[in-house]
Amino acid sequence: MNHHAADTVLTAQGVVRGLRRDGTTVFLNIPYAAAPTGAARFAAPRPHAPWDGVRDATEPGPTAPQAERRLGSVDMTPYFGPGWIPGEDFLTVNVWTPGVAGERLPVMVFVHGGGFVAGSTRSELYDGTAFARDGVVLVTLNYRLGIAGFLDLPGAPANRGLLDVIAALRWVRENIAAFGGDPARVTLFGQSAGATIVGAVLATPEAEGLFRRVIMQSGSGLGAFTPEQAARVTRAAAHALGVEAHADAFAGIPDLRLVEVMPELSGIDLRTDTHSDPLIGLSPFSIVLDRQPAEAVAAGRGDGVDLLVGTNTEEGNLYLAPFGNLSTSTAADVHAAAARSHPRPARLVEAYRRARPQASSGELRSAIMGDALFGVGSRRLADAHAGRAAATYRYSFAWRSNALDGELGATHAVELPFVFDVADLPRLRGPQALLGPYEPPSDLAARMHAAWVAFAATGHPGWDRYDTARRATMRIGAEWSMVDDPHGEELHAWP
């Protein structure tokens, strides 16, 4: 195979060779930090050593240690990817570029979701080809997950997975010009846990100046655990592993064992006298902060960064429908969902019943779960950011997947194929697949992807800015329409 000069790029660590096809060059598995092995798994990321010669960047690489993830009857393989592909050098980026050195194209850096315990750049949803086609340099990254990434351990820096993301942003600032990208026009975006991480990066002083715009897809500005909550998980993990709760004791435990104990960490009650569990029991890991990102942003963090934030209209369905729990939910289930996430559950349920008089118990339960996980924290972050010099935009994704006999709906993660313009992937189609058996509207992916590209390039996605008076939100579906404050009534009922 003959390689052209455009296939190789000189980075600060050495030369990498990518694969050129149809005007796009893709570089896979480029390390942005040293391999996190042994004790280094519980340390801040360190620079990767330089290499001699040309590093092959044409094959996907290893992924962060993780347990297999399944979500009932829906096939989420395109989302979670292949799981754990062992290998030491997994703190890597993939880069898609249409450009060559000397161009100054907008850059987008994507942080994947997966509950802080799963996912990787190898998911087929995160293919950057369409972004490169449309003049964007697209970067995806792996970060440490689970115990290595997020367990709050004495003797170790907190939020190591978050520190990995910041290290990847530093790699981008140092290297992306060689791939044709503009280091002064970086948009950091993420989905689910990845969006919550992105919100925390926005609120982190050390990350200031590394990006100009942020997109949060179904994350939360209120998604952090308090140190007290995190300490409960740490005690449970130390107990399960039979070691002292300290980084030195964890350093000698193999990755496989850290992954194996994960089931023993589910079901820990993280509610305290002052705080509910922001993940309502769905994951024992999140970022750990003294104050929520939305509070930090309200105090002025992320002041000069444009923000696009949104959620899907039926987020909670993913946690119910694939397990057969949407249609079978009772009034008691609705109350239990409210009690997990709100100090006054009866008042909350009453507000949701008032706002949605026609809703079934399953629909109310899903709405409360979706708002507890994503809706309230996204709106709070948008409100905190609105009215600054930088722009704030909000969206609500409403297209309903007909998967699982129509029950999946506009659920968590269903917007991703449209953002990446990969809605035609075969694995996404079928009665048990994310997008269901029917064709989505033919122009939905093109329009949504174009809005994300426009925001990255110009800071303007193509609709009205958000402010706390009107709360203008683009409702994205088969039709697109501006609405003022969707779910306003229910969200007023939250503390």
pLDDT in tens, 130-184: 999 999 999 999 999 999 999 999 999 999 999 999 999 999 999 999 999 999 9
Does pLDDT of 423 surpass 50? Answer: yes
pLDDT of residue 489: 81
pLDDT of residue 487: 78
Confidence category of residue 103, pLDDT binned at 50, 70, 90: confident
Q: What is the mean pLDDT of residues 5-31?
A: 93
- Type of residue found at 308: L
Could you tell me the CATH number of the domain that includes residue 90? Answer: 3.40.50.1820
Q: Which residues contact 479 (CB under 8 A, 6 or more apart)?
A: none
Enzyme catalytic residues? 192, 315, 412
Q: What is the mean pLDDT of residues 20-41?
A: 96
Distance CA 366, CA 472 (A): 24
Give me the chain's average pLDDT, please. 96
Residue 379, classed as helix, strand or coil, is helix
Q: Which residues contact 332 (CB under 8 A, 6 or more apart)?
A: none
In this structure, are residues 223 and 286 in contact, taking their beta carbons and an 8 Å threshold? yes
Distance CA 266, CA 275 (A): 19
Distance CA 164, CA 153 (A): 16
Q: What is the mean pLDDT of residues 189-214?
A: 97
Q: How many helices (H) and strands (E) would you count in the chain?
A: 16, 14
Q: Which domain holds residue 237?
A: 5-245+247-491
Q: What is the mean pLDDT of residues 84-96?
A: 98
Distance CA 184, CA 447 (A): 26
* CA angle at 289 for the pair 283 and 291, rounded to the nearest 5°: 120
pLDDT of residue 6: 67
pLDDT of residue 149: 98
pLDDT of residue 1: 39
pLDDT of residue 491: 86
Quick one: CA dihedral 184, 288, 365, 194, positive or negative? positive
Confidence category of residue 486, pLDDT binned at 50, 70, 90: confident
Confidence category of residue 479, pLDDT binned at 50, 70, 90: very high
pLDDT of residue 4: 47
pLDDT of residue 221: 98
* CA angle at 301 for the pair 229 and 34, rounded to the nearest 5°: 70
Question: Per DSSP, which regions of 388-454 are E strands?
Answer: 392-397
- Give the residue from 2, 58, 4, 52 showing the smallest Cα distance to 30: 58
Q: What is the mean pLDDT of residues 434-449?
A: 96
CA distances from 401 to 46, 156, 312, 314, 429 (A): 42, 43, 12, 10, 10
pLDDT of residue 73: 97
Does pLDDT of 3 surpass 60? Answer: no
Does pLDDT of 422 surpass 60? Answer: yes
pLDDT of residue 101: 65
**Tokens coding 344:** 């006054």
Confidence category of residue 14, pLDDT binned at 50, 70, 90: very high
Tally of structural domains, the chain: 1
What is the Cα gyration radius of the chain? Answer: 21
